[in-house]
Amino acid sequence: MRFLVDQCLAVELASHLTAAGHDAVHVATYGLSRADDAEILARAATEGRVLVSADTDFGGLLAARDVSVPSVVLFRRRTRRRPHEQAMILLTNLANVEADLDAGAIAVIDDTGIRIRHLPIGGQ
């Protein structure tokens, strides 16, 4: 799977995902550390990447645009884990959410589990 890791998460998360065999890039690699959320979403969509973030603004942007790409994995609440822990959580659960992410979804990961919201948000 192809991932774009947002600035609010560590560069090491992208490294762990890459080590597990995925194509993962951190926004800093593209020089997008100071880019606004719309630009980051556009980059993920253009490259067919799933955006991995902890920024809840992405859900609102996707809803306002009524689009089904890019998919987003969103770490929420008390999921302030170290990058290797975040990678482990994502990789452990990826098989369960991969089809949803391929179809267009927001996967919200928190301490209670994973919730899926299919995209487009306004279209269903």
Q: Kindly list the domain boundaries of the chain, sorted by start residue.
A: 2-118
d(CA 20, CA 57): 28
Sign of CA dihedral 18, 12, 70, 35: negative
Q: Is the pTM of this model over 0.85?
A: yes
Rounded-to-10 torsion of CA 42, 75, 113, 107: 0
pLDDT per residue rounded down to tens, the chain (124 residues): 999 999 999 999 999 999 999 999 999 999 999 999 999 999 999 999 999 999 989 988 998 888 999 999 999 866 557 899 999 999 999 999 999 999 999 999 988 889 999 999 865 4
d(CA 24, CA 13): 9
* Eight-class DSSP state of 121: S
In this structure, whether the domain defined by 2-118 belongs to CATH 1.10.3470 is answered with no
- Reported as half-sphere exposure (CB side, CA atoms, 13 A), residue 121 has a value of 15
